[in-house]
């Protein structure tokens, strides 16, 4: 076996492990489907998957905060003046 064959075999092995994913068996389900119910595990599962703050969520929250706290009321915005 030549050096080139060894490197191509190593590259193929790395490619196989990257693209031929095999999850751990048995796969774990969400705690909602396990009995008896474990409220703490259910809360952790929801917190890890559904309470993630994305960039758009932060920007929308910032826009709402600036609208309510930093913008003048709509009645004062009807006429353009520097008060």
Local confidence band at 79 (pLDDT 50, 70, 90 cut-offs): confident
Q: Are 32 and 42 in contact (CB under 8 A)?
A: yes
What percent of the chain lies above the pLDDT cut of 70?
82
pLDDT exceeds 90 at position 66: yes
Domain boundaries, the chain: 34-71
- The Cα 75–Cα 83 span in angstroms is 14
Mean pLDDT of 17-24: 76
User: What's the whole-model pTM score?
Assistant: 0.40
d(CA 49, CA 42): 11
């Amino acid at each position: 076996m030549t050096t080139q064959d060894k490197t191509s075999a190593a590259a193929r092995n790395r490619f196989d492990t990257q693209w031929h994913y095999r999850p751990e068996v048995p796969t774990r389900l969400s705690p909602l489907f396990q009995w008896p119910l474990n409220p703490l595990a259910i809360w952790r599962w929801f917190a890890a998957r559904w309470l993630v703050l994305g960039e758009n969520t932060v920007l929308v929250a910032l826009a709402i905060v600036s609208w309510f706290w930093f913008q003048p009321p709509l009645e004062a915005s009807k006429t353009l003046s520097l008060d």
